[in-house]
Amino acid sequence: MPRLRLSIPESISAHKHKIAVTAASCTAVTGAIIGGIAATASNANASTAPVAHVARIAVQAPTLPASPSASASVTPSASPSSAKPTPPATTKAAAPAPATTKPAPVVTHVDPYAGLSAYQIAERIVPSGQFGCFDWIVTRESGWDVHATNPSSGAYGLGQALPGYKMASAGSDWRDNPVTQIKWTLNYMDERYGSPCSAQSFWEAHNWY
């Protein structure tokens, strides 16, 4: 196959050598620049690449979802909707105390006349309007001596009951208890004469009652 030859004008042919030199120079310069850049880039990459890559990874690394093992170790907090409400505390009514049987109180007899004389006791038993007449008769019969005894008749006590055991109707302690003797004598005056003062009137008229 015949080769195609191109005819180059003289003007271009004259500069052909210059172009070749210039091209060679450009090639050398370009190679030197590229080599320098490559060397610099390699040094720069060697010193900054890890930092740049680490920074890029830290910025661009997506947030990975928690692994099943990690999520399984975390106890999820109960949501308001799933939490069961605590029922209000109920106050139980206090049970009534069992009825207790109280022992019957011990009644102790208190003698209202303890420490009093026969005269003072009579003041509390005989009606106030009749006490003067009662005192007048008893003073003449026994002188307010509970144990006074008539040697001839055997009459006994404050009112000189005859016989003395008649006063047992007022109490079995008639021999020594002035209260028993006063109650019996007052009752005798009321039943026989109507009152101590009527008994005094009879005594004054007959010197006995």
In three-state form (DSSP H/G/I as H, E/B as E, the rest C), the secondary structure along 165-203 is HHHHHCCCCCCCCHHHHHHHHHHHHHHHHCCHHHHHHHH
Chosen CATH of 118-206 out of 3.20.20.100, 1.10.357.10, 1.10.530.10, 1.10.287.810: 1.10.530.10
The structural domains of the chain, with segments of one domain joined by +, span 118-206
113 pLDDT higher than 60: yes
Q: Give tens-digit pLDDT for 128-171.
A: 999 999 999 999 999 999 999 999 999 999 999 999 999 999 99
19-23, 72-76, 163-167, range with greatest mean pLDDT: 163-167
Range with lowest mean pLDDT among 111-115, 154-158, 178-182: 111-115
Residue 200 pLDDT class (50, 70, 90 cuts) = very high
